[in-house]
Chains A and B, each alone.
Chain A
Amino acid sequence: MSLKELLKKKETAIVAQWFDRVVNTYQLDTSRFLKSQKDAFANPVGNTLLQGLKAVFDETTDRMDNETVISFLDPIIRIRALQDFSASKAVGFVFFLKEIIREQTAKETQGNAALQAEMLLFESKIDELALTAFDIYMQCREKVYEIKANEVRNRTFTAFHRAGLVADWEEEPRH
C-alpha cells in the first residue's frame, strides 16, 4: 500500500485528531464549545476549522494545488490572526499534522523503507504548507493594519478637520 492510500484509509482518524489538537490550543471552556456546537453559524470558528482542516488534508495527500490550499487555510488563519495567539501559535498548528501522521502510521512504516521514503517527501509538503500559512498570516496582519489606518471614518474626519469645519478644544473659550 502506498502512503497515499494509507493516509486515505486513515483520513477520518487523522483529521479528527488534528481538529482536536487545534481546538485544544484554546482554553478549556472554549474548546468544549468549539467541539460540541455543530451549527455552522452559531460556531463559525469550530466549523471553519473542521471544514478547513479536512480540505487541507485532502489536498496535501492529493494534488497539493496551491490555490486550493490557500482557499482553505486562509479562513482558519484569518481567525487566528486576530485571536490571542503569537504568530508561531497562530500558524504552528500545521506542524501538528506531522506528529499525528507519524503516530497514525507508525505500525505500517516500521521496517518499510519505501513508505519511510514517501513519508519524508510527505513531511516536506507539510513544511511547504507551514510556509504558506505564514504568508497568509502576514497578509492578514497587514490587512488589519491597513484597515486601522484607512478607516473611512477617520479619513472623513480628517477631511472635515482640514476644511476647518471641526472646532478644536484649544479654540474653546475659557469657562
Chain B
Amino acid sequence: MADDLLKPDELLARTDHRPPATGWMDTPVNIRKGMYCYAANPKSVEYLSLPYARQWNPVEDDWKLPENWKQIIFEGIRDRLDRFRSFKIFMDICVRCGACADKCHFFIGTGDPKNMPVLRAELLRSIYRNDFTTAGKIFGKVAGARPMTAEVLKEWWYYFFQCTECRRCSVFCPYGIDTAEITIIARELLNLLGLNIDWIATPVANCFRTGNHLGIQPHAFKDMLEFFVDDLEEITGIRVEPSFNRKGADILFITPSGDVFADPGTYTCMGYMLLFHYLREKYGFDITWSTYASEGGNFGFFTSHETMKRLNSKMYAEAKRLGVKWILGGECGHMWRVIHQYMDTMNGPADFLEEPVSPITGTKFENARGTKMVHLSEFTADLIKHGKLELDPSRNDNLKVTFHDSCNPARGMGLLDEPRYVIKNVCKHFYEMPPNTIRENTFCCGSGSGLNAGENMELRLSGGLPRANAVKYVHEKHGVNMLACVCAIDRAVLPPLMDYWVPGVDVTGLTELVANALILPGEKERETNLRGEPLPGMEE
C-alpha cells in the first residue's frame, strides 16, 4: 500500500487522473494483490512429476525461470499447434470484431481491458503471430505481433489465471472461438515452466495421491459420511446405510469431495444419502460409494490435458475394479465438462461398463452411451417425471429459490431444464434471474477453474459481480432467499459472494431441496430441515 500514499496536494489531482491511453501492448502488467493466487508449492509440482518445481514469488522480479525458457515456450506452442487443430484455428481466424469483448464477467467486474476475451487471447496470439506466421515475422507490431519477453510471460500468468474457462465469450463469437480453450493451452505452456498456482497444484497432487483434492484418506472419508448418518437419524428417525467400495454393486456414485467436507455442500451430500436410501427401500436400488475414487472434480483439467486424463482415469479404474454397470455422478461442475467433452476420446470408450439404464424407470440415458456416466439431476428429474418420488414441497415453503446455471453443466453439456424441473417439483416458489444471465448466457461464479483460493478474493468478488447483480435483482423484486446450484465449487464460493453483494441469500445444492421434500417410508414427523433449522410451521 505504501506506493498508494500521496502528498495532500497530489491527492485531489490524482483522483481525477485518467489512466493513460496506451495501446495494450505498451501497458505494462501490474501484479496486484488480491488478484492473483500464490505460486504452487514445489512439493506438489514435484509429486506430479511436472517440470521446474521451485519456490518462486509472482511479485518478485526474478521468477527463477530455466535458462532456455523461451525455447521451451516456443516448442510448447509448436507442439500444441500440431496436436490441437482447434488451437491453430483459434489462433488464425479471429477478426477482432469485438463481439466477445464485453461478455466476460472479469472484464465487466474488474474493468480491466485485458480481461476482454479478445485481448486475453491476443496475449498469446501476438506471440504466435511473431513466431509462427510470415506476416508477423515481417511486419511485427503492425501485424499484431510481438516478441516473447519476461514481461509477456508475467502478463500471461496474471491474465490466464484471471479466466475461469467458463466459455461465456464463445457463445457470442460468430466464429465459435473458445477463449477457454486458449486459456487451457496457455496454462499448459505455463506449466512447462513450473508456473502453476498452489490452489490447483496441491489439490491435483492430493487427488493423485489419496483420490480427492483435499487429501482426505479413505477412512476419514467414510468417517465423515458416518457422521452424516447420525445427523440424518436425528432429523428423520431413519438410519441410512451407505455402502462403500462394494464389489458387484449395480452403480458407482461419484461426487466432488467438497460435498463431503464443506458446508453447505455437506447438506447436499446428506441429501444424496437420503435419496439413495429411499430408492433402495422402495425399489431395491443398488449403489455404492468409493473411498478411493472419492473425487468427481478434476483440477487436472486446469493444469494440462495429461494431468486431467490421469485424474479422470481413476474413476473408471474404480468402476472397473468394483464391476459396476455404470456411474452416477453427483452435483459437480467441471467434472461434467471433463466427462462430456473429453472423457470419451481421452480414457474411453468405457466398454467394460453398460449403457446406463435407470433400474427404476427403465429410461435409457442415451446421451451417456459413450461415457457411461449419468448426472444426478437428470436421474432425479426422470424419477419425478415417472412419479417415483413421494414429495412434500411445502417443507421448502420458507424458501424463495432461484437457480444459478453453473457454467460447465449449462454451457459445457446443455443441462438446463432438468435442474429447473426438479426444483419446481420440490419447491413452490421459484423465480428466474434475467434471461441474459442464465442458461447458455449464465454468468460465472467468478471462482471456477481452480481460482477459488482465498488470497485472490478481490478478483473473485469482482468477477462474481454480474452473477451477484442478477441475484440481487430477484432478491429485491421477489424476496429470493436461496440460490440453488448443481456445482460443488459454486456451493463453496457463492456464500462469500452473497455475503459481499447480497446479504440474506443462502446457497444450496439441488438434492438438499429434494431430500427435504422427500417423504421416507417410516420416517418420524420431521421438525427440521437437513440444516437443523425448523421447518415452516414448526418454528416455536
Contacts and interface: CB of A to CB of B under 8 A. Distances in A.
The prevalent SS among residues of B at the interface is helix
A42 B107 CA distance: 11
Contact of B469 (A41, A154, A172): A41
A75 B457 CA distance: 18
Given A41-B470, A44-B466, A82-B458, A87 B4 contact: yes
A154 B214 CA distance: 11
Contact of B112 (A21, A27, A37): A27
B437 interface: yes
Contacts of A93: 15
Given A33-B102, A45-B465, A165-B223, A148 B457 contact: yes
Interface residues of A, number: 49
B500 A160 contact: no
Contacts of B461: 82, 144, 147
A28 interface: yes
A65 interface: no
Interface centre among A88, A93, A95, A152 (most CB of B within 10 A): A152
Contact of B214 (A24, A87, A143, A166): A166
Contacts, number: 151
A145 B353 CA distance: 48
Nearest to A89: B15
Contacts of B454: 148, 151, 154
Interface stretch (B17-25, B132-140, B240-248): B17-25
A157 B6 contact: no
A147 B18 contact: no
B500 A44 contact: no
Interface of B: 4, 6, 11-12, 14-19, 21, 27, 30, 32, 34, 43, 101-102, 107-113, 116, 209-210, 214-217, 220, 223-224, 258, 261-264, 434, 436-437, 452, 454-455, 457-458, 461-462, 465-466, 469-470, 473, 492, 495-496, 499-501
User: Nearest 9 pairs between A and B by C-beta?
Assistant: A92-B15, A165-B220, A86-B4, A44-B469, A29-B113, A82-B462, A30-B111, A147-B496, A28-B21
Given A83-B110, A157-B262, 15 more contacts: A21-B16, A28-B19, A28-B21, A29-B113, A44-B465, A82-B461, A84-B30, A86-B6, A88-B4, A88-B11, A93-B15, A147-B500, A165-B223, A166-B215, A166-B220
